[in-house]
Structure 1
Amino acid sequence: MLRAFSTAATGMTAQQQMVDTIANNLANINTNGFKRRQAMFEDLLYVKMKEAGREVSAGVTAPSGIEIGSGTRLSAVTKVFSPGERVETGRALDMAINGDGFFQVTLPNGDLRYTRDGSFQTNAQGQIVNSNGLALDPPVTIPDNATGISVGVDGTVTVTTDKGTQQVGNIQLVRFPNAEGLTAEGGNLFAETESSGAPLTGTAGEDGFGGIQAGSLEKSNVQMVSELVDLITAQRAYEINSRAIKAGDSMLQTANQLIR
């Protein structure tokens, strides 16, 4: 009976972690470039009371065994890199990636980070930076006398001045052999890990990289209806596991009363 308590407790813990994951998804439903997380679970060790195929009598083997499970646990929280909704903003430095790839930015210490958030602007030096002031890598600088900015599908940045148009840089994209292996650091940034593999740099719209759509932003890929359905499912599963504990307690109480 005590095994039922611990087994149901693992189920309650797992569903609590599921709710935590869903809550984070819903909290970021309006975060640019956010990718929803999906909780994955696995079953725990089994107590084998009878081995399958065990000889039960002369020349007779059991077709199946008896295995009592120990519950479940969270095995991974994967990132789902399906595309988010594209929203037109009309801003020249708002960019969405149509397909695979990340923008690459540089931290103050020189380390590189990666993002799908394409809401860029210029700083006091004319460099294109994200909302936290991190510059694109390789850097692109807009001259002070620029009266217009355009970004091509291939990432080419062209400005208009009183002397005409000129190309001032090219926005390179980065992709990974296993994007799900990236680690999230907050601020809409991902960092490389051994699991993600080394970054591959290339030109937007070529060699498997997505094209850049200027004047638009990629929103979160979180679907509110799906998340709410998952939330209800997790809540009901939590309740059912708590009922299993109550049932075990009731059975123990009945057993205790037999000796009175």
Structure 2
Amino acid sequence: MLKAFYASATGMRAQELMIDNTANNLANVNTTGFKRKHINFADLLYDTTQPPGATTLNAGFKPIGLQIGSGVRAVGTTNLFSQGTPTETGIATHMAIEGDGFFRVIQGNQIAYTRDGSFTTNDQGQLVTAEGFFLDPQVTIPQNATNLAISATGNVSWQIDGQTVNGPQLQLARFINPEGLQNLGDNLYAQTAASGQEILSNPGTDGAGRVRQKFLEWSNVEVVSELVSLITAQRAYEINSRAIRAGDEMLSSASDLVR
């Protein structure tokens, strides 16, 4: 009977994590470039009284066994990198990626990666994130520049006194396993051993997405789906608590027999 208590407790903890994750997804429904997270669960070890395939008295094999599980545990969270909705802002320094890839930004002494293309210029005319991290390769727009243009293939240009000046070529980073990237907050990711090494490409080539100027990629969170997950987790939590209550009542009934 005590096994039911522990199994139900792990189930309640799992649903707490599910609600925490769902709440985080819903909180970021308007976060630029945010990718919703999904929690992966796995069952725990089994108490095997009799394994499947055990021999019987007539030298045969039992088709089934007797195994009682110990509950559930969370094994990881997966970033779902489906495309968010591109939304037009009209701001020349804003960019959205249509397809695979990440912008590279310089965060202190390391390279970080983001899908958030809400870049702006600092006091030196350099393209930076909202937190002040430089876009890599760095783009510096002169003070007297006009008509900033960023092509779908990442070519940056502007005009000075009516003459077109070509800036640096933007590059996008891709990973063989983007789900292995580490979330850093501030819409940034870090490369890990699980993600593999970055693969740099010009936008629109070698599988990299294309750049869309004056647009931002919205969060890919689907509110209705998250609300369904929230309700499901809440009901599962209640069912697990009822299992604990049922076990307690059965123990109480057993103890009453000796009175």
Normalising by structure 2, we get a TM-score of 0.98
**Aligned residue in 2 for 1:25:** 25
With 152-161 and 31-40 compared, the bigger mean Cα shift is at 152-161
Q: How does 1:239-254 map to 2 (within 5 A)?
A: 239-254=238-253
What amino acid is the match of 1:190?
Y
Q: Following the alignment from structure 1 to structure 2, what is the Cα–Cα distance between the partners of residues 19 and 211?
A: 35
Count residues with an aligned counterpart.
Answer: 259
**Aligned residue in 2 for 1:147:** 146
Q: How does 1:67-82 map to 2 (within 5 A)?
A: 67-82=67-82
**Residues 155-176 of structure 1: CA deviation (Å, up to 9, x unaligned):** 1111122141111122111111
Q: How does 1:19-98 map to 2 (within 5 A)?
A: 19-98=19-98
With 12-21 and 50-59 compared, the bigger mean Cα shift is at 50-59
User: Identity rate of aligned residues, in percent?
Assistant: 52
**Aligned residue in 1 for 2:183:** 184
What amino acid is the match of 1:29?
V
With 240-249 and 127-136 compared, the bigger mean Cα shift is at 127-136
Normalising by structure 1, we get a TM-score of 0.98
Kept in 2: contact 1:140–1:170 (CA 8 A) = no
**Aligned residue in 1 for 2:207:** 208
Q: Following the alignment from structure 1 to structure 2, what is the Cα–Cα distance between the partners of residues 202 and 59?
A: 64
Kept in 2: contact 1:141–1:169 (CA 8 A) = no
1:229 paired with 2:228, answer yes
Structure 1: 4+ residue segments shifted above 4 A: none
Residue 59 of structure 1 deviates from its aligned partner by 2.3
Q: Following the alignment from structure 2 to structure 1, what is the Cα–Cα distance between the partners of residues 136 and 59?
A: 72
**Residues 140-185 of structure 1: CA deviation (Å, up to 9, x unaligned):** 1101111221110011111122141111122111111110000000
Query: What 5-or-longer segments of structure 1 have no aligned partner?
Result: none
What amino acid is the match of 1:16?
E
What amino acid is the match of 1:2?
L
Residue 58 of structure 1 deviates from its aligned partner by 3.0
Q: Following the alignment from structure 1 to structure 2, what is the Cα–Cα distance between the partners of residues 191 and 161?
A: 37
Query: What 5-or-longer segments of structure 2 have no aligned partner?
Result: none
